[in-house]
Amino acid sequence: MSFFDRFFGKKNSANSAKERLQLVLIHDRTDLTPAELDSLRDDLIATISRHVEIDVKAMQIGVEHDGRSQRLVADIPLKAARRKTRKTR
Amino acid sequence: MPAQVITIASGKGGVGKTTAVANIAVALASDKSKVVCIDGDIGLRNLDVILGLENRIVYDIVDVIEGRCRLKQAMIRDKKLPNLYLIPAAQTRDKNAVSSSDMIRLIKDLRTDYDFVLIDSPAGIERGFRNAIAAADRVLVITNPEVSAVRDADRVIGILESEEKGPASLILNRLNPALVKSKDMLSPEDVLDLLAIELIGIVPEDENVIIASNRGAPVAYDAKSRAGQAFRNIAKRLKGETVPFLDLDAQGSLWERIQRLAGRK
C-alpha cells in the first residue's frame, strides 16, 4: 500500500478481502441471498405487526456467525411499549 | 497400528494439493513411517512428476480396480525412500472409472501394512473429490491467503461437515509474510477467523518449491528451505507431536498470537 493510499484513507487490501469474504461466506453457508433476506424481513414485519406495533424503520435483521454456525439476529423495537408508559403516568 | 488415511482437498485448483501430498509423504517416510500416496486425479495425474517417478509407471489405479493387475504391481517404490510408495492415477481415463466403493475397497487392503495413506484429491467438489474423501479418516483442507481459495475451502469444509468427515484441519499455503505485514495479504488469523477450523500448518511462499518440482525431488528433502521445514512440521503434527508454528522473521508478536489461536501455546 503506497503512502498516497494511506494518506487518502484508502483501506488496506487485506481488510477489504476479509470483509468481503465475511459477507460472501454467510451467503454461501446459509444459501440466503440479500433479496431473500429482504423478503424474510417483510414477512417478519407482517407477522409481528398482527400482534404488536413495531418501529419498522429502526428494525434490523442480519446473519451473524459464531465459529462455523450461523445465527439469524433480528432487533425489533416495539412501539406499543411507549404508548403504555404514557398511559400509566 | 492400522494406517491413518488422510485426504488433502481444496476445492480450488492450483493452491498446492499435489505439492503438499508429495512433501508430507516424503517427510513422513523420511521419519521412518511406511507411506503410500494415491493420486486421486484421474485423467490429470501429476503426483508422479512431483515425486520424480513418472518414468516408472507400468500400472495405475484403474488397472487395479478393473483387475488388470494386483495392487502391489501398481505401487511404485520411491527412488530414495524404500518405505514410500505411489499409486498413480490413470491418465487416459476419466473420473467415472472409479467409484467411492472402489476406493474404500482398495484402501482397506493398505490399512494393515502401512502407517499412512495419503490421497491427493482432484480440484472441485464433484465425483473425484467424493471418491477421494470416501475412505478418509481425516481430511486436510489446503488454501492460499486469497479470496477465491478461501471461499472454495469454506465450501469444501461445509461439505465435509455434512458428510460427517470433519473436523477438517487447515494448511495455509503460500503465505507471504512481507505482504501480511504491509496488510496486503490475509493473515493466518484472518483466515482462521473466517474458516473457523483447526490449523495444522502454515507454509510460506518459497521459490525452492518450484525448483524442487522441476527436479522431481520434493522440497521437504531440502533442509534449508522454509517451506520444506513447514511440511516436515505438518508431518510431525500428523504423528501427534506438538511443534510450534514457524516464526517467519520479525513476525514475533503476530505469530505468537497465531500459536495461541491454534491452541499450540
Q: What is the CATH number of the domain that holds B110?
A: 3.40.50.300
Q: What is the pLDDT of residue A89?
A: 45
Least confident segment among A28-37, A40-49, B249-258: B249-258
pLDDT tens, B70-94?
A: 999 999 999 999 999 999 999 998 8
User: B2 in a domain, yes or no?
Assistant: no
- Average pLDDT for B161-190: 95
Rounded to the nearest angstrom, the minimum Cα separation between B132 and chain A is 23
**Mean pLDDT of the residues in chain B:** 93
Distances (CA, A) of B18 to A13, B40, B96, B155, B218: 29, 10, 21, 20, 11
Q: What is the pLDDT of residue B42?
A: 94
Has residue B232 got a pLDDT over 50?
Answer: yes
Instruction: Flag whether B237 is in a domain.
Output: yes
> At B251, is the pLDDT very low, low, confident or very high (cuts 50, 70, 90)?
very low
Cβ distance A21 to B197 less than 8 Å, yes or no, reads no
- A20: closest chain B residue by CA: B147
For residue B3, being part of any structural domain is answered with no
pLDDT score for A35: 86
Residues from chain B that touch A68, judged by Cβ atoms under 8 A, are: 157, 161, 195-197
Cβ-based burial of B57 (10 A; exposed 0-12, middle 13-18, buried ≥19): middle
Q: Are strands B116-120 and B4-9 parallel, antiparallel or unpaired?
A: parallel
Residue B69 has pLDDT above 60, yes or no: yes
* B23 pLDDT more than 90: yes
Q: Please report the pLDDT score of residue A70 as a whole number.
A: 85
Chain B nearest-CA distance from A51, in A, is 38
- When pLDDT is cut at 50, 70 and 90, the band that residue B250 belongs to is very low
- Contact call for B186 and A18, based on CB within 8 A: yes
The answer to whether the beta carbons of residues B189 and B258 sit under 8 Å apart is: yes
* Per-residue pLDDT at A81 exceeds 60: no
Inform me whether the C-beta atom of residue B197 falls under 8 Å from chain A C-beta atoms: yes
The answer as to whether B233 is a domain residue is: yes
Residue given cell 466403493 in the structure block? B101
Domain count, chain B: 1
Residue-range definition of the domain harbouring residue B177: 8-261
Chain A residues with CB under 8 Å of B11 CB are: none
Which tens digits make up the pLDDT trace of B181-214?
Answer: 999 999 999 999 999 999 999 999 999 999 999 9
In this structure, what C-alpha cell is assigned to residue B205?
Answer: 511462499
C-alpha cell read off for A38: 429482504
- The confidence score (pLDDT) of residue A5 equals 57
| Per-residue pLDDT at B113 | 95
Residue B251 lies in a domain: yes
Q: Which residue has the higher pLDDT, B131 or B258?
A: B131
Return d(Cα B234, Cα B198) in angstroms, integer: 13
